[in-house]
Amino acid sequence: MEIRRYEPKDEKSWVRCRVLSFLDTAYFDNVLRQKEHYENPSIELVAVNEGKIVGLLDAEYDTPDNRICTREPDKGAMIWHIAVHPDYQREGVGGKLLLELEKLAKELDIAYIKAWTRDDNWVRNWYEKNKFILTSSYLHVFLERDELSSITTSHKNMQLIQGWAHYTGENKLAIKEKYKRVHECVCYEKKLS
């Protein structure tokens, strides 16, 4: 298996790998039809086996003028995507991608890496096993038709069918009890030495 930089010719295989990787996670409906591009510089890696992309990792990093979800004085990076094709999961692919990211990040004087994920225990365990520390969380609340009755639009001929919201309050249990689909969105951070 080869870990290398993403190339534009990889896009279709990258998208396919990401979609299949996310099917059995709390992000199952976060489908992309094309690869994202970033405003700031980024480290975009792929794991390739027999010409097929089997893993990916994208991290965008801070510049002096534009911080990526960070307020710390040191230069940081945010992992936006990390995924391993289901046929290659639990074979160390994600760890190899992370090691390469860390190596490249240190060369760029990046002091820490952050990542957001939802409440899949196996994903959270992977971050913790790789020495990331949980730093904060909030809720992603997905609302269906019957849960939207108190929300209206300014257009009389438009009816809300679905929606989602961020809940940052203290009473997470009440929100989890009230709505059918609620995910805890958690932030992990790893300091690089």
User: Cα–Cα distance between 181 and 171 in angstroms, integer?
Assistant: 16
The tally of domains found in the chain comes to 1
Q: Tell me the pLDDT band of 67, cut-offs 50, 70 and 90.
A: confident
pLDDT, tens digit, 9 for 90 and up, residues 29-57:
888 889 999 999 999 999 999 999 999 99
On whether residue 133 sits in a domain, the answer given is yes
On whether residue 24 sits in a domain, the answer given is yes
Note if the pTM is more than 0.75.
yes
On whether residue 40 sits in a domain, the answer given is yes
On whether residue 145 sits in a domain, the answer given is no
Which residues touch 37 (CB under 8 Å, ≥6 apart)? Answer: none
Sheet strand arrangement including 163-167: 2-5, 42-49, 52-61, 76-84, 112-117, 181-191, 133-143, 163-167
Q: Tell me the pLDDT band of 157, cut-offs 50, 70 and 90.
A: confident
Q: 188 and 144 in contact (C-beta within 8 Å)?
A: no
Q: 9 and 51 in contact (C-beta within 8 Å)?
A: no
On whether residue 87 sits in a domain, the answer given is yes
On whether residue 150 sits in a domain, the answer given is no
**β-bridge pairing 181-191 and 163-167:** unpaired
Q: Give the per-residue pLDDT at 73.
A: 81
Range of the domain at 128: 2-137+186-191
What single DSSP character describes residue 65? S
The CATH number of residue 128's host domain is: 3.40.630.30
For range 79-100, the mean pLDDT: 96
For range 59-65, the mean pLDDT: 91
On whether residue 180 sits in a domain, the answer given is no
On whether residue 124 sits in a domain, the answer given is yes
